[in-house]
Amino acid sequence: MKKKVLMVANQFPPMGGSGVQRSVKFAKYLPDFDWEPMVFTRECQQGLMDASLLKDLPENLKVIRTKAYDLSEWKKPFDILGKVIARKLLIPDGDRIWYEKNKDRLLEVIKNNPIDAIYTTSYPYSDHLLGLYVKKHMPHLPWIVDFRDEWSNNPYILDIGYSNRRMEKERHMEKEVVEHCDYFITNTPLMLKNFLKDYAIQDKAYVIPNGYDEEDFEGLDKSYKKKDKLVITYSGSMYGRRKPDYFLEAVHGLIHEEKIDRQDIVIRFIGNISNKKMEDIKQQYGLEDMVTALPYMPHRESIEQLLASDILLFIIGEGKGAENFYSGKVFEYMNTNRPILALVPPKGVAADVIRDTRTGYISETTNVARIKELMEKLYKDWKQDQVTLDPHWEKIQCFERKALTNQLVHILNKATNDVK
């Protein structure tokens, strides 16, 4: 008989974006390991949408959808006010109202649907507050906490510059979550290292990275064939520290120095990216004819676009905490058999995984001279039809989603055996 786990995941299909991928793939593969997932989430009717991800879910998956209470989804012109309230006033995040309105409903769901464990994942951190609420009412129910990103040390939170009073409140919330959970998972080793500096959780802490799903590549040809133009593709969101400015400055410089021919190159940015900002940057460097911005697209289509490229551009902005995380997109990049031009902290986890898997070239995000050097090399290789890559496939396969789900199952089994 399969054991049952309740997954609290505010971000879940048909919502799109990178934040949903981890939960979707866990839910997809858990039944293969004798665990039956059930999902507690919110309704989703606007914002980034990707209904294609619903196809990944088990046919009999029970999904409990509650009202979203998302202030950022207020109708215009009130949506701006809603976003300000959600970001500035609600603690720890804009989904605090969702937590308050649904914490008792979650208890009822558990009482009416016997489960063996509860799993909460962030962002938003309000997911973990729900788990904490359940734990305080049902202390014998095993609770696994999964941090896709850090909380009080999250670089994007640090950049916002919240008041000391607010950060003190958030650190208190974080402390309660970390200390009350039965098992604790982070996305990267450095992220875990940071948590271990603050909390004595060595005996219950694990790392499960993001990854790629081989089934998403089924029927697609990963072999490389040179195209008429050098196609460089960035796929993902572009916000905060994550900017294309230094890369485009380097390309502009190489064109000016006549080291590359602008007629040979197409640069594509795909995803949740501000069109206005992209237009401004294109005009700033005179690259309107080379750079295109494509909207967020269904997951399978985004992979097809990666395989229709010669080089994959990967960017993590520099600054405090940036070395601790990698975007989930990098693992799909690694499985394409295309070289990655990675503008990331050289001593960070993203650089480490690219080096270990032999899948790309690394430069600091802001080092224009180094970016120019790598870009010129890649251009010459393409021109001479000598784009080569020798990926370490055995290491890449460690990041396959089914294998990663097996790691989660190990923790779930341990948690439920501990109860016995």
317 and 405, same domain (yes or no): no
* 383 shares a domain with 247: yes
Alpha-carbon dihedral of residues 338, 294, 25, 69, nearest 10 degrees? 150
- 245 and 332 inside one domain: yes
pLDDT tens-digit profile, the chain (420 residues): 899 999 999 999 999 887 899 999 999 999 999 999 999 999 987 778 888 899 999 999 999 999 999 888 777 877 788 888 888 889 999 999 999 999 999 999 999 999 999 999 999 999 999 999 999 999 999 999 999 989 988 877 777 778 999 999 999 999 999 999 999 999 999 899 999 999 999 999 999 999 999 999 999 999 988 889 999 999 988 777 788 999 999 999 999 999 999 999 999 999 878 778 888 888 898 999 999 989 888 999 999 999 999 999 999 877 777 787 777 889 999 999 999 999 999 998 899 999 999 999 999 999 999 999 999 999 999 999 988 889 999 999 999 999 999 999 999 999 999 755
Contact 126, 98 (CB under 8 A): yes
Burial 29-67 (b: 16+ CB within 10 A, else e): bbeebebbbbbbbbebeeebbbeebeebbeeebebbebe
Is residue 161 located within the same domain as residue 251? no
CB 314 within 8 A of CB 353: no
Residues in a beta bridge with 145: 120, 184
Question: pLDDT of 280-338, one tens digit each?
Answer: 888 898 999 999 989 888 999 999 999 999 999 999 877 777 787 777 889 999 999 99
- The pLDDT tens digits for 137-159 are 999 999 999 999 899 888 777 77
Give how many domains the chain has, as a whole number: 2
Are 202 and 233 in the same domain? no
DSSP letter, residue 159: H
pLDDT, tens digit, 9 for 90 and up, residues 341-356: 999 999 988 999 999 9
207 and 244 belong to one structural domain = no
DSSP letter for each residue of 28-48: HHGGGGTEEEEEEEE---SSS
Do 152 and 239 belong to one domain?
no
Q: What is the dihedral of CA 204, 205, 207, 210, to 10 degrees?
A: 80
How far apart are the C-alpha atoms of 400 and 6, rounded to whole Å? 23
**Angle CA(131)–CA(135)–CA(139) in degrees, nearest 5?**
160
Residues 231 and 275 in one domain: yes
Structure tokens at 344: 């990331």
136 and 240 both lie in a single domain:
no
Is the domain of 26 the same as that of 167? yes
**379, 260 contact by CB (below 8 A):** yes
What residue type is assigned to position 8 of the chain?
Answer: V
Please tell me whether residues 393 and 408 are part of one structural domain: no
Q: At what angle do helices 245-256 and 275-284 cross, to 10 degrees?
A: 30
CATH number of the domain that 258 lies in? 3.40.50.2000
Q: Specify the length of the chain in residues.
A: 420
Same domain, 26 and 144: yes
Torsion of CA 182, 15, 86, 322, to 10 degrees: 60
Residue 31's domain comprises: 3-211+401-419
